[in-house]
Each structure stands twice: as C-alpha cells, then as structure tokens.
C-alpha cells in the first residue's frame, strides 16, 4: 500500500472547498489526486477543471456512480453536510465532512451508524486540533510546570460585521456552528473526558445581518477538570489573548503565534504556614501577606517560516492518509465530534430567545 495515491472527489468549490481542500490536495500530489469536483455554479466548475485537470459535475449523485473514488470531501454549505454525507456513506465511499458535522446529536449518531454499517471511514475536518500553539499548550500542561490547571480561557474574538449565508439559521449559520467547532474541539480535547460537561451559555446577535448569533459566551464544567471559559465575539474591538490559563503554580497567556508562561518551583518556595493572629512587618506595623516567589518565565514563538494554516491542514490530511492507507485509527473521531455537537445543541436550547426553536 506504500505510495498509494488517494483519488478524491470534492463537493463544493466555495471558500472551504477551493481555498482549503482544493488548494492543499492539489499540492499534496504524492498522496492525493483530485479526480472529480461538483459545484452548481458553472464558473466554479470551469475553474476547477482548469486548476485541477479533473472531471466536473453539477450533481454529486452522478459521482456516486463512479468506482474509482477513494475519498469524498463534503465541503458543501453546512446544512447539506448531514444528508449528503449520509448519501456518500450509503453508496459505499469514505467521506471527510467539513465542520460543522451536524446540528443535532441524533444526526451524528445516524452518520456514525451509517459509516459502521457500510464499513467506511467518517472523518470530520477539525484541523485546528493541529494548531502549533495549541499543541505547545498541551505540551506545557503535560509537563506539570504550571501545577493544577484551574481555568482555561479560549477567545476567538474580533470586531466585524457579516452578511453572508453563514449568518442564517436555516443554513446552520451563526458563530457557534461556523467558528465554534475550532475552539470547542480544542476545549473538549483539553478536558479529555467522556462525561458531558455542564454547559452554561449566553448568545446574542450584535453586528450580524442574519438571524443567527455572533456573540457566544460558553462555560464548560466537569468535576475534577479545569473550568473552560470559551468566547466567540464579533464585537470585541480590543482582543487580547487567544489563550489564558490560570494554574496553581503560575499561568500562561498567548495567541496563535506567541505564548508566554511563568511558574514557580515548590522546592524553592519559602516555607509558610497558616497564621490566625494579625500579621506584622519587621517594624511591628500591620502588613499584608508578602510571598517572595521566584518565577521562571518561558516563551514560545511559532517557528520562523511556518505557515500556521498550511501546517494544520497538512497535519490533518497526513493523519487521514494513514487511516485510509494503513488502517490507523483516526486521531479525531466522530465520537469526539458527537460530544461537541451535544454541547452546541445544549447551547442552542438555552438560548431559544436568540436561536429560535431547536
């Protein structure tokens, strides 16, 4: 199987289908080959034919009649992810579905069942799991230098107005379903539990021209795990940090390209004990607790010349290639994404006044 070329059909040539999947797959010719593209717009089909040298279609069901496809990439609009992915799996093909996979848990369960019944791979494009900064954060936490992690803030914030189809509920729009799968996947990976977190969520519509939310404040709580404070806002004119960690021996702050963290070593910390009587300074006057801790500070920058976007996409597709060719387990499973959709569904339930009936 070494050196096998995976033949790919891409459904959709929008921002994701062309600018992410098409762009990368057309450069990874040692592993993948685009052999078919489907899009309802004639100009996009013509462009795909020229750029990839592939067959083009206006109806994906025509591609399902082919026998030479190893992988379908479902990069159609979000509300088509579930029905089209189901059709692909039932036809006997492996499928990589863009995010969001679905809007409801029952839809995810149906897709998992369909994939298992037909013996096919169902993968979900959660490439942000491979963010260099996120991988570095996981490494720092695992090292133990920060001690017990108490709270993790993840903020995907900016200030912007938006008026495209992804602002509409009927197309599975809104910040939680559009942007949310990226930080939410990271948050759940950090929690690393099969338990459903306690969800507290507030959503609002601020600068969007559609009927779905563009502000999300989400708290995730699991006993014995750090509190996750996740924020997605389109009305944040002064975004500070993407990541902010509070821990028992120090903390971390940073963005997707730069991280700072500091910590003290318990073995070097001055010995102190609880004192109930008033505390006085050397001159006998009242004073506050003064803790002379020696902090160690470290920093991380994304390696020079590294394109974060390229690294995330290539890492995901390299992982998927090993699954398709060598049978290795997916590192990001449908069951993990099921937990993500369960959280999203609960957020929408708590915000019916904003999100409507779910």
Q: What's the order of all strands across the beta sheet hosting 32-38? A: 55-57, 32-38, 6-11, 71-74, 94-97, 122-124
Tokens 């989400």 sit at which residue? 218
The per-residue pLDDT for 353 is 79
Which of 135, 344, 315, 77 is CA-nearest to residue 232? 344
Q: How confident is the model at residue 169 (pLDDT cuts 50, 70, 90)?
A: confident
Angle at 67 between CA 61 and CA 71, to 5 degrees: 75
Residue ranges of domains in the chain: 6-125, 130-302
Q: 6-125 in CATH: which number?
A: 3.40.50.720
In this structure, the dihedral spanned by the alpha carbons of residues 129, 166, 102 and 347, taken in order and rounded to 10 degrees, is 80
How many Å from the N-terminal Cα to the C-terminal Cα in the chain? 46
Q: pLDDT, tens digit, for every residue of 29-40?
A: 999 999 999 999
Q: pLDDT, tens digit, for every residue of 2-46?
A: 579 999 999 999 999 999 999 999 999 999 999 999 999 999 999
Token code pair at residue 147: 């001690």
Give the list of residues 6+ apart from residue 196 with CB closer than 8 angstroms, or none.
339, 342, 343
23 close to 307: Cβ distance less than 8 angstroms: no
Averaged over 232-253, what is the pLDDT?
Answer: 95
217 close to 231: Cβ distance less than 8 angstroms: yes
Give the list of residues 6+ apart from residue 265 with CB closer than 8 angstroms, or none.
249, 294, 296
Q: pLDDT, tens digit, for every residue of 170-191?
A: 878 889 999 999 999 999 999 9
If phi > 0 it is left, if psi is from -120 to 50 it is alpha, else beta; for residue 72 that is: beta
Residue 222, Cβ neighbours under 10 Å: how many?
Answer: 16
Does 358 have pLDDT greater than 70?
no
The per-residue pLDDT for 355 is 61
The architecture of the domain spanning 130-302 is 2-Layer Sandwich (3.30)
Task: Please state the φ and ψ torsions of residue 23, each to the nearest 5 degrees.
Answer: -60, -50
């Amino acid at each position: 199987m070494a050196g096998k070329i995976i033949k790919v059909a891409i459904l959709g040539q929008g921002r994701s289908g062309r600018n992410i999947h098409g762009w990368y797959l057309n450069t990874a010719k040692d592993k993948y080959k685009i052999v078919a593209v489907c899009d309802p717009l004639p100009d996009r089909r013509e462009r795909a034919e020229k750029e990839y040298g592939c067959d083009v279609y206006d109806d994906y069901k025509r591609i399902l009649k082919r026998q030479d496809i190893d992988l379908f990439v479902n990069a159609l609009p979000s509300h088509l992810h579930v029905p089209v992915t189901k059709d692909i799996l039932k036809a006997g093909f492996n499928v990589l579905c863009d995010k969001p996979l679905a809007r409801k848990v029952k839809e995810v369960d149906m897709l998992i069942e369909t994939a298992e019944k037909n013996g096919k791979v169902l993968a979900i494009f959660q490439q942000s799991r491979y963010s260099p900064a996120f991988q570095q954060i996981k490494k720092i936490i695992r090292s133990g230098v920060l001690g017990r992690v108490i709270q993790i803030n993840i903020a995907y914030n900016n200030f912007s107005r938006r008026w495209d189809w992804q602002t509409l509920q009927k197309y599975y729009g809104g910040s939680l379903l559009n942007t949310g799968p990226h930080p939410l996947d990271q948050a759940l990976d950090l929690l690393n539990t099969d338990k459903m977190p306690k969800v507290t969520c507030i959503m609002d519509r601020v600068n969007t021209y559609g009927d779905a939310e563009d502000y999300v404040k989400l708290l995730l709580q699991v006993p014995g795990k750090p509190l996750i404070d996740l924020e997605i806002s389109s009305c944040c004119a002064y975004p500070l940090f993407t990541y902010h960690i509070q821990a028992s021996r120090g903390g971390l702050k940073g963005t997707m390209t730069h991280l700072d963290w500091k910590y003290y070593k318990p073995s070097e910390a001055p010995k102190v004990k609880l004192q109930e009587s008033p505390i006085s300074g050397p001159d006998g006057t009242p004073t506050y607790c003064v803790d002379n801790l020696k902090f160690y500070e470290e920093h991380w920058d994304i390696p020079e010349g590294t394109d974060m976007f390229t690294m995330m996409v290539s890492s995901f597709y390299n992982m998927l290639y090993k699954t398709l060719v060598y049978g290795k387990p997916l590192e990001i499973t449908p069951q993990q994404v099921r937990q993500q959709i369960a959280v999203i569904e609960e957020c929408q339930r708590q915000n019916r006044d904003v999100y409507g009936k779910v």
